[in-house]
């Protein structure tokens, strides 16, 4: 039985990179609450957990994309505080959608909430804060987020993978 909301047309790591695959720049945003727990999103397109964030649109900076994505997904206005890493290894980052296959390169940013009313968008089944020792199991996490979450849990910064 697949999780509620899982879309079998979104597949991770089922194709090798080739010249037809587009590279997509995305932001993943680390937001902590006052107990230092990390905000994670259970995605409605596949039913798996990951960090909130998304694609950098043409004409946007990485920081602008992070602010837009977080507002769209959570209702929070954020201030980007720090670059934590760049994740580009193709092994876990090739994603097939119904209309295309892409290699996702994630820029991991740390941000803090400055205002806003928390809400969950249609892109998410659920959002909640997790202690780093209580992250969902890897099988319940989108493959592109697995190394990122391991690095967050172990306090890694300045990562280039």
- Active-site residue set: 126
The Cα–Cα gap between 143 and 62 comes to 22
Residue 158 DSSP code: S
The Cα–Cα gap between 122 and 27 comes to 19
The Cα–Cα gap between 124 and 127 comes to 7
The Cα–Cα gap between 143 and 158 comes to 20
How far is C-alpha 122 from the geometric centre of its chain's CA atoms? 15
The Cα–Cα gap between 161 and 159 comes to 6
**97, β-bridge pairs:** none
């Amino acid at each position: 039985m697949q999780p509620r909301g899982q879309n079998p047309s979104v597949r991770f790591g089922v194709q090798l990179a080739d010249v037809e695959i587009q590279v997509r720049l995305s932001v993943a945003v680390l937001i902590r609450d006052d107990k230092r727990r990390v905000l994670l999103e259970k995605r409605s397109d596949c039913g798996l957990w990951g960090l909130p964030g998304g694609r950098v649109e043409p004409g946007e900076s990485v920081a602008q994309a992070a602010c837009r994505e977080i507002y769209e997904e959570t209702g929070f206005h954020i201030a980007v505080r720090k670059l934590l890493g760049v994740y580009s290894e193709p092994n876990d980052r090739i994603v097939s959608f119904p209309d295309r296959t892409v290699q996702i390169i994630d820029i991991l940013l740390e941000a803090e909430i400055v205002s806003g009313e928390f809400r969950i968008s249609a892109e998410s089944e659920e959002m909640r804060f997790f202690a780093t020792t209580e992250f969902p199991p890897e099988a319940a996490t989108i493959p592109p987020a697995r190394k990122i979450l391991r690095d967050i849990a172990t306090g890694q910064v300045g990562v280039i993978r």
